[in-house]
Amino acid sequence: MVIPRENNMVRLYIQVASSTDKDWNPRKTATAEEVQQHAKEILRPYTITWDRVEWFSVYPIGQGIAENYTLDERVFMGGDACHTHSPKAGQGMNTAFLDAVNLAWKIHHVESGFAPRSILSTYESERKLIAENLLDFDARYAKLFSARIPSAGEVAGASNASGPAEENEFIKTFKASCEFTSGYGVAYNPNTINWGPSHPAQHPLILSYQKGTSLRTGRTFHPATVTRVVDSNVVHLEQEIPLNGSYRMYIFGGTPSRTSRAIKDLSAHLSTPSSFYSIFAHRDTNKDRYHERHNPHTTFLTLCTILNVPRGQVDIDAMLPAVLARYRDHVYADDIWDQRVPDAKASAHAKMGLNEEEGGIVVVRPDGYVGVVVRLVEGTGTAEALNKYFSAVTGKTLGEERAVL
């Protein structure tokens, strides 16, 4: 029996030997046949053949970055249009995706009336910084990538030598940068949407890194595993809301017996007409949104509630105010053990660095980066802190009582 070959398109990067000759120009001298021969030698004792070559080019490694990512906040660029680097580690496409998501949600919020046009300026300040970090990594990585790799004999000799072998510099650099290359190491500086010490919103209940939380504003929300109450499914909390252009507000409710009053007070203030939650409420209230999981009240925000109690003890309608109970698909029990915090009774709370009994509020931007973290307390304080933050984000005065004639 003859097994037919599948038609596959494969892209290969083959390093071309360099030269000190000033007239050396591999773009003119290197051929597809030469590169194919190098590939065959690399893959021995395995073999590789080609039906045809769809595309071939010679790319000299170099780093470059555009002076600006935008022209008057009317024309925007991203990805390879803004920076060039070596085709290694998948950074071209990965960075372009993050550029697109960062820009898309900000344009959406401006066009929807959720934010002033000035928020668009944060696209360049945030993403250009990441590109600069990328080029710094790429310069070091490309230099190591182009260096001669030790032969199998040299590696074997090192492993048989007395004492532990020193780790290869290429591997050390890649390991040290793996958080950045995976995307989780992307970090944005403080600005109007990433709270910081000089942020316009100042309130004693706002928490900062290592002072009430392990979360850092401008960095991704920590992964956490919880139990979704309505169907008992164990889920990844950070993946429960799609990238739909909405902010996410995670209400870590701590132990309900201790935080019941604080949760009720927060919910009462969310419902006031001038709050950050109500100001962008759906105007067409007659539309049936019974099956809307993520945005039943507003497309500006989605609410999630996480309680430090076993799933079997959660009664959504009895334990939560109506405004939170409406998001019943986003009510979770923090009852899954996590080896990263083995002694925690509520691992999701613990991974966020929040008090397991008292909880806290985490506001996450539409692209998954933490905007602000606030303590959960009884009274008006929590709502006041959130209104201050969202006032800076939206350019609106929120939470203040308005005179009615």
Q: Is residue 47 part of a domain?
A: no
Q: Output the average pLDDT for the chain.
A: 88
CB atoms within 10 A of CB 52: 4
Q: Is residue 400 part of a domain?
A: no
pLDDT value at 274 more than 50: yes
Q: Is residue 357 part of a domain?
A: yes
Is 213 in the same domain as 362? yes
Q: Are 300 and 280 in contact (CB under 8 A)?
A: yes
Cα separation, 341 vs 239, in Å, equals 20
Is 172 in the same domain as 217? no
Return the structure tokens found at 201: 């919103």
Q: Is residue 14 part of a domain?
A: no
Q: Is residue 405 part of a domain?
A: no
Q: What integer pLDDT is reported at residue 102 of this predicted model?
A: 97
Q: What integer pLDDT is reported at residue 1 of this predicted model?
A: 47
Q: Which of 149, 182, 215 is the last residue of a domain?
A: 182
Q: What's the whole-number mean pLDDT along residues 190-206?
A: 97
Cα separation, 195 vs 108, in Å, equals 21
Instruction: Report H helices in 30-160.
Output: 32-43, 91-111, 121-146, 152-160
Is 260 in the same domain as 385? yes
Is 245 in the same domain as 378? yes
Is 275 in the same domain as 366? yes
Q: Is residue 15 part of a domain?
A: no
Angle of helix 121-146 relative to helix 169-176, nearest 10 degrees? 160
Q: Which of 115, 149, 182 is the last residue of a domain?
A: 182
Is 110 in the same domain as 146? yes
Which candidate, 376, 378, 400, 377, places its Cα nearest to that of 387? 400
Which candidate, 347, 339, 351, 307, places its Cα nearest to that of 325? 307
Pairing of strands 83-84, 75-76: unpaired
Range of the domain at 243: 206-283+290-394
Is 211 in the same domain as 314? yes
Is 229 in the same domain as 376? yes
Q: What integer pLDDT is reported at residue 345 of this predicted model?
A: 96
Q: Is residue 32 part of a domain?
A: no
Is 319 in the same domain as 367? yes
Show Cβ contacts of residue 383 under 8 Å, excluding neighbours closer than 6 positions: 265, 266, 269, 270, 275, 399
Q: What is the pLDDT of residues 102-129, one digit of tens each?
A: 999 999 999 999 999 999 999 999 999 9
% of the chain with per-residue pLDDT over 70: 90
Is 384 in the same domain as 240? yes
Q: How much is the pTM?
A: 0.86
Is 101 in the same domain as 213? no
Return the structure tokens found at 342: 């083995």
How many structural domains compose the chain? 2
Q: What's the whole-number mean pLDDT along residues 377-403?
A: 91
Going from the C-alpha of 87 to that of each of 19, 34, 128, the distances in angstroms are 21, 20, 19
For residue 60, what pLDDT band results from cuts at 50, 70 and 90?
confident
Q: Which of 127, 149, 182 is the last residue of a domain?
A: 182
Is 175 in the same domain as 295? no
Q: Is residue 19 part of a domain?
A: no
Q: What integer pLDDT is reported at residue 387 of this predicted model?
A: 97
Q: What is the CATH number of the domain that holds 162?
A: 3.50.50.60
pLDDT value at 27 more than 80: no
Q: What integer pLDDT is reported at residue 24 of this predicted model?
A: 74
For residue 149, what pLDDT band results from cuts at 50, 70 and 90?
low
Q: What is the CATH number of the domain that holds 373?
A: 3.40.30.20
Q: What integer pLDDT is reported at residue 284 of this predicted model?
A: 85
Amino acid at 329: D
